[in-house]
Amino acid sequence: MFNVSAHGAKIPAIGFGTFRMPGADVLRMVPAALKLGYRHIDTAQIYGNEAEVGEAIKNSGVSRGDIFLTTKVWVDKYKHDDFIKSVDDSLSKLKTDYVDLLLLHWPKSDVPLAERIGALNEVRDAGKVRNIGVSNFSSALMAESVKLSKAPIVTNQVEYHPYLDQSTVLKAARDSGMSITAYYAMADGKIIGDPVIKAIAAAHGKSEAQVVLRWLIQQEGVITLSKTVSEERAKSNFEIFDFELTNEEMQALHALAKPDGRIVNPGHLAPKWD
């Protein structure tokens, strides 16, 4: 395991995600993931499982200070007062007095971006949040956020897998000292059985999932999330630090990108993508 550094934040390169994970699975899987060595846990207000994430961390036997915890403010809480209250609610559910990273979940909203970024800075100044970031932002919105923010924006969490070219967003992040956190790394399971990925996996004695996760964290400034309700799969997904892909293999994976590779694109929430 290693950390990705962005504006002083040290973010573990692989995080355990809890999207669409029911409470019972969270209570089982988060302690299991922490036992395996994961130290980065990702949740969100809209996932409806912050309380279980908090309980799982509290009962895991791993010190809170050793865990990098991320949550996200949902779009219906972007007005200043709603925002502040929602963060307090999240902290209460998560059974902690701070989160390591707080993100704006999606960009589209009637609430001005300046108000949202201002609220992010306010909770950071209050010590409720160690670092701030965004999610599903285009490169133009990233630049606007950086300009509006007093504190550094440390990450943009976006869909990223071999079928989606994110080079524009990656360049924008690197140019401003930000990291990129990749979600949907498995492209909703589409990577399994892909002949190119399968061949690379065979060459390393690894699975297709391990190859894709390795491809992500081997890129400069990229963090990846891995989500599973299988303890065996969680173990396998973590075993990506004992091999390295060649430059040719990295390029072969980049070359899989397609013009229609994006999977997550809710019109009422999404920006004009790069």
Q: Which residue has the tokens 């919105």?
A: 141
3-state secondary structure of 70: strand
Short-list 49, 103, 101, CA closest to 78: 103
Cα separation, 229 vs 75, in Å, equals 27
Catalytic residue status for 98: no
Which of 47, 163, 183, 184 is an active site residue?
47
Q: Which of 132, 144, 198 is nearest to 172 (CA)?
A: 144
Count of H helices and E strands in the chain? 10, 10
- Please state whether beta strands 179-183 and 153-159 pair in parallel, antiparallel, or not at all (unpaired): parallel
From residue 111, alpha-carbon distances to 61, 80, 82 in Å are: 40, 9, 11
Q: Report residue 151 CA to chain centroid gap.
A: 19
Q: Could you tell me the sign of the dihedral formed by the alpha carbons of 265, 150, 176, 238, in that order?
A: negative
CA 234 to chain centre: 16
Which residue has tokens 């297709």? 208
Token readout for 270 is 């999404």
Distance CA 58, CA 91 (A): 13
Amino acid at the residue 240? I
Say if residues 137 and 172 touch (Cβ distance below 8 Å).
Answer: no
Task: Catalogue the active-site residues.
Answer: 47
